[in-house]
Amino acid sequence: MDNKENLKKIIIYGAMWCPDTLRALSFMNQNKIDFEFRDINEDEENTKFVNETNNGKTIIPTIIFPDGTILTEPSNSELLRITQK
């Protein structure tokens, strides 16, 4: 499956040891925004997708929005801007 097609909810690729991932997850939970979390440590396909999306680098969180927008390591203000469209 192509991770960029037919998204119905936000997908967050990250890891539970990453402070930026934890911050993004906290933001989503506090703002009651529906999302799916995909841990890069639990599935090689998740890591592969992150690396392919970020020119061979493991940059997390990598977040895909239903409109196809992809943000890497977004700030809370960036998350607020895009989730309130």
**Which one, of 3, 5, 16, 9, lies nearest residue 65 by Cα?**
9
Dump pLDDT digits (tens) for 34-60. 999 999 999 999 999 999 999 999 999
**pLDDT at residue 4 is higher than 60:** no
Q: Domain boundaries in the chain?
A: 10-83
- If pLDDT is split at 50, 70 and 90, which confidence band does 1 have? very low
* Assigned architecture for domain 10-83: 3-Layer(aba) Sandwich (3.40)
Q: Tell me what pLDDT residue 7 has.
A: 67
Percent of the chain having pLDDT more than 70?
92
61 preceded by a cis bond (ω within 30 of 0): yes
pTM of the predicted model as reported, rounded to 2 decimal places: 0.89
